[in-house]
Amino acid sequence: MSAAAELWFISRCGLALVALAMAYSIIAWLTVRFRRRPGQSWPSVQPPVTVLKPLCGAEHALYESLRTFCDQRYPRFQIVFGVRDAGDPAVAVVHRLQRDFPELDLRIAIDPTQHGSSRKVGNLINMMPLARYDYLIIADSDVRVAPDYLAKVVAPLLDPGVGIVTCPYRGHPRPGLWSLLASLFINDWFMPSVYVAALFGSRSFAFGATIAIRREALAGIGGFAALADQLPDDYRLGELTRRGGLRTVLSEVVVETCVEESSMGELIRHELRWLRTIRTVRPVGYTFSFVSLGLGPAVLGSLLAAGARAALVMLAITAIARLMLHCSARKARSALKQLWVLPLNDLLVFALWCWGFVTRRVQWRHARYRVARDGSAHPIP
């Protein structure tokens, strides 16, 4: 192939890349902008529910987050909290909730027994003996919900063909650049990519922000013990129920999670753990997610196309769609204040996506793991 032919080929690849980035950005914006919002319908049957809350440490605003689960307009439910150590600061928060809500069934399991490499799943296994009801909801400790959350999340589980119900979520950042970037990672990239995948029929997802499941469906996959060594335990829970012929429902309810990265290192470690876990469980999908990374691939495509007019026009359209996506994902006033950080965010996400291919090592809290191809986490001394 001659040099001219090579340049022509590279230019056409660049144009194709910009076109794909533009098309995805427009679809993502429209999907987020016109996504159907939850209605006010209430199910005629509201079975009793057990909420499982694994805890570890006194996270920022932990009491306020947990309190939203106590302030539910639901006839009968219990909340089971779980910690590994009686000296965990989260225990004092649970005791405060028990004092503030004496009419509720709030219990705490304190058990250091480890059942696998996943401490979260081990915690859930230790909590299960206290779970009274057959409808279960697992939710991360930093999640905040509305008072009608239980009623709306449980409703799809009344269909025996449904395996799990999972909730999309929105990142609410604490003050600071690193928390803001982490929230944009969720709100401007990850969740829009989920909505686009759902639009095209995919249900290969489940999020720790909320997973609702019936006890019999959980038992059918082998219980939490089947996830004891899995780093992506939420994803595997959905995958195993789908293998059993049950559907995954993406709820219309959007919950909120507190984002509190305090340093660049903490932000990078968190997002790399996230990205490398996605690459492990869905390697093909991770590779082709390249076009969803905002302005990065569009700029790269424009450079490969040597600044061709068509490439620059598509780059401009991509940038506009990116701005509209951000404004649709956030309240208008706060979105406008954050416009300056969007190029930095897209550059960071693009760089971390590339870095995600380098190794399978991740850090979760104070422990390091190597993630195997089957999603199992192996501690690194």
Same domain membership, residue 239 and residue 145: yes
Q: 130 or 288: which carries more pLDDT confidence? A: 130
Q: What is the pLDDT of residue 333?
A: 53
Residue 372 resides in a domain: no
pLDDT at 150: 96
Q: Give CA separation, 262 vs 49, 58, 266, in Å.
A: 35, 15, 7
Asked if residue 119 has pLDDT above 90, the reply is no
Specify the pairing of strand 162-166 against strand 247-250: parallel
Q: Where are the alpha helices (DSSP H) in the chain?
A: 3-33, 62-70, 90-100, 119-127, 149-154, 177-184, 191-199, 215-220, 233-243, 264-281, 283-288, 295-304, 309-329, 332-337, 342-355
- What pLDDT score does 51 carry? 98
Domain co-membership, 205 together with 326: no
How many Cα atoms sit within 13 Å of 242 on the Cβ side?
A: 15
Mean pLDDT of all residues in 201-223: 93
Same domain, 258 and 343: no
Q: Which burial class, exposed, middle or buried, applies to 70 when counting CB atoms under 10 A from its CB (0-12, 13-18, 19+)?
A: middle
Task: Give Cα 48 distance to the centre of its chain.
Answer: 26
In a shared domain, residues 312 and 361: yes
Q: Report the percentage of the chain scoring pLDDT > 70.
A: 95
User: Does any domain span residue 269?
Assistant: no
Residue 175: which pLDDT band, with cuts at 50, 70 and 90?
Answer: confident
Contact 139, 209 (CB under 8 A): yes
Together in a domain, 228 and 282: no
Tell me the pLDDT of the chain averaged across its residues. Answer: 89
Residues 71 and 202 in one domain: yes
Q: Of 3-7, 200-204, 330-334, 351-355, which gets the smallest average pLDDT?
A: 330-334
pLDDT category at 280 given cuts 50, 70, 90 is confident
User: Angle formed by the axes of helices 264-281 and 342-355, to 10°?
Assistant: 50
Structural domain includes residue 99: yes
- Number of structural domains (the chain) is 2
pLDDT digits (tens, 9 = 90+) for 348-365: 999 999 998 888 887 776
Q: Is 206 left (phi over 0), alpha (psi -120 to 50) or beta?
A: beta
Q: Looking at the predicted structure, is the pLDDT value of residue 266 above 70?
A: yes
Q: Is residue 235 part of a domain?
A: yes
Domain that holds residue 106: 49-262
pLDDT digits over 98-114, tens only? Answer: 999 999 999 999 999 88
pLDDT of residue 6: 81
* 214, 312, 326, 356 from 299: Cα distances, Å: 47, 9, 18, 20
Per-residue pLDDT, 373: 79
pLDDT(337) > 70: no
DSSP letter for 129, please. Answer: G
Exposed e or buried b per residue across 271-307, where buried means at least 16 C-beta atoms within 10 angstroms of its C-beta: bbbbbbbbbbbbeeebeebbbbbbbbbbbbbbebbee
Cβ atoms of 249 and 204 within 8 Å: the answer is no
**Integer Cα distance of 163 and 192 in angstroms:** 23
Are 162 and 73 in a shared domain? yes
Identify whether residues 63 and 106 lie together within a single domain: yes
Measure the CA–CA gap between 218 and 224, rounded to whole angstroms: 7
> Does one domain contain both 288 and 347?
yes
Residue 40 in this model has a pLDDT that exceeds 60: no
pLDDT at 1: 63
Residue type, 121: V
pLDDT tier for residue 37 given thresholds of 50, 70 and 90:
low
Q: What is the pLDDT of residue 242?
A: 95
Shared domain check, 281 and 163: no
**CATH (domain of 183):** 3.90.550.10
Segment 35-42 shows an average pLDDT of 62
How do the residues of the chain divide into helix, strand and coil, expressed in percent and rounded to 5? Answer: 50, 15, 30
Quick: pLDDT tens for 225-252.
999 888 888 999 999 999 999 999 999 9
Across 179-203, average pLDDT: 92
Query: Mapping DSSP to helix (H, G, I), strand (E, B) and coil, where does residue 326 land?
Result: helix
The three-class DSSP label of residue 87 is coil
* Domain end position, chosen among 262, 294, 321: 262
| DSSP reduced 3-state for 52 | strand
Q: What is the mean pLDDT of residues 34-62?
A: 82
**pLDDT at residue 38 tops 80:** no
Give the strand pairing for 211-214 and 143-144: unpaired
253 and 285 fall within a common domain: no
255 plus 355 within the same structural domain? no
Position 11 pLDDT exceeds 90: no
**Last residue of some domain: 262, 288, 323?**
262
